[in-house]
Amino acid sequence: MCGIVGYVGDDAAPKILVEGLNRLAYRGYDSAGHALMNGSGIKIFKDVGSPEHIGQVVMKEKVMANSGISHTRWATHGGVTPSNSHPHLSNCGRIALVHNGVIENFVTLRNRLQQTGVTFHSETDTEVLCNLIASYYEDFRSEGHEDAFLHSVFAALREVKGSYGIAVMCGDQPGRIITARLGSSLVLGIGNGENMVASDAAAFCGRTNNIVYLDDGQVACLTGKDFEIFNLDNERVAAEICEVQSEHQEYERGDFPHFMLKEIFEQPEALRNSMRGRFSSDNSTTKFGGLNLEAKDLRRINRILFMGCGTAWHACLLAKYIIEKLARIPVDVEYASELRYRNAPIPDNTLVFVISQSGETADTLEALREMKRKGFETLAITNVVGSTIAHEAGGGIYQHVGPEIGVASTKAFSSQVLLTTMVGVFLGRLRDLSMSEGMRLVKGMQELPDKIVQVLQKASELEALAKKYAEYNDFLFLGRQMMFPLALEGALKLKEISYIHAEGYPAAEMKHGPLALVSPTCPSLFIAPEDEMIDKVASNIQEVKARGGPVIVITTEGSPLCDQEGIDVIAIPQTCESLMPILASIPLQLFSYYAAVARGCNVDRPRNLAKSVTVE
């Protein structure tokens, strides 16, 4: 949510900032802007619209600048207007600032600053922080303070309550950027004769692989030649430079019209990467290097709590079904956004698992911190190396699926489900899961990427089906047992990118309310592989057909449902029951994608949504 890019160095800043900001557009935006140090002060370019549009304006102006800060905004305080866009410039014109996060006490600070004569031109909390820094800067400068700029940032940040990731420039000190974080991710890109800051290392792709991850409460000063990191007490902090390999093409669409479609088709290789090196030598179980818990510790665990938000919560719910089946350990699932605000009675010897693709999801992070405060062992499944959740969890599992740019999660979701299944096998083999069953499941995982390829070959079939149903405005997604969480995920995918109202339910709950919605204008999509529940689901399908409701069925090849008349069927290969949700998720993703395209929607950047939700 929102994106920050800052550059200082020997090169031309506008081009670097524009390219970097365009790479962060996937995080969500309603406006964008740049502040450039052009030798005669700070020049601001900002407006409502896409970063590409603002970038074209900047490049057309041909501003000569070697430093600048940029931002994509996703509105929190104040409407979507040019004045509310970032960067903000202080009343004195000397301080420019971009900000991710929420300043909770901004009203009190704003009232205080107004009493000193400060005039505000926006509704944002960010402009308040900008002028607070400027107010301290004027005081320190008049006192002849040795480093008025740095200490004005320290002083302001000690006063604010809330969360922030900021980058600040001072017109009196060209060639210097100060940046700080508390609850909103920031990383430094360390180059040769240049340094950068961004909310996501994607902004650095092609310029540097040397990254420094800022921790909460840290402040960094960047020049073209050097950087320093401090805590809020103005004490220097040692920096750890990490090398992160990323390929330029990972952030480009290539021959695909949208990132979402590219990422759907990347899933065979993404899942291979998730599994790589994680099977025992005899292929009877799985193994993980980052759990930081011994087998004897895991055997003492008698309950698991999974937490996540959105699609990650659906992965958590699938983990409940899968781990309870394979490891016979009770699993609870909570929305991270709810758990953090209630005093839930959680038994001793509970292992807490959080799932977050970005590793920066605000609610999930705070729920993780709450569980750590209460003394529980915590683990994470995340995709971003160096993310806050990865850093703060007691241990965890990296997904290794590469950057996911599309707002609607696809390869990250399938990887999360695969990894929780692998956790289920691992824990099951520590208990009473047999060696032969472990080998059967491992074999099924190893075969899964090739079976996904077979499903992807049905893309044209799913495109035609999506076009047939794209004009409907209501949808039901239905499944039994493990297919129920997948029904929830399918409904979410359809609603978030095509804006079709969709609901997911257990198929058996049809008669307890949802059947009232069934009509010729409300199709039902059933996820019904050939398993022990197929006869029950077949009866539910007949109930829908009897009321004139159109029916789509995702089932396995050779299933009795393949021969039913009057329904649209997508047949997928058979696999292990515990792996079927992964395989069945692929046609749901393709169906939602093609429906959104048919309706003319912006698939990669759906309205009102952001990729990474870093504020409440």
| Nearest residue to 183 via CA among 239, 78, 99, 126 | 99
* Positive/negative CA dihedral, 274, 276, 278, 280: positive
Q: Token digits for 606?
A: 């759906």
Angstrom CA distances, 31 to 70, 273, 371, 445, stand at: 11, 36, 36, 43
Angstrom CA distances, 286 to 28, 223, 433, 436, stand at: 37, 46, 12, 13
Say whether 393 sits in a helix, a strand or coil. coil
Q: Token digits for 46?
A: 């900002």
Q: Token digits for 85?
A: 């866009």
Please enumerate in sequence order all residues whose Cβ is within 8 A of that of 447, keeping only pairs 6 or more positions apart, or say none. Answer: 575
Q: Which residues are catalytic?
A: 2, 611
Say whether 486 sits in a helix, a strand or coil. helix
Quick check: 23 and 251 in contact, CB under 8 A?
Answer: yes
Quick check: 501 and 474 in contact, CB under 8 A?
Answer: yes
Q: Which phi-psi region, left, alpha or beta, contains residue 219 (left: φ > 0; alpha: ψ -120 to 50)?
A: beta
Quick check: 6 and 224 in contact, CB under 8 A?
Answer: no
Amino acid at 307: M
Phi, psi of 399 (to 5 degrees): -80, -35
Quick check: 229 and 239 in contact, CB under 8 A?
Answer: yes
CA 595 to centroid of chain Cα atoms: 23
**Alpha carbons 387 and 405: distance in angstroms, whole number:** 16
27: number of CA atoms within 13 Å, CB side?
33
Phi, psi of 127 (to 5 degrees): -65, -30
**Alpha carbons 487 and 283: distance in angstroms, whole number:** 31
| Nearest residue to 132 via CA among 88, 175, 163 | 88
Angstrom CA distances, 418 to 196, 269, 298, 305, stand at: 35, 13, 20, 18
Beta bridge partners of 68: 7, 36
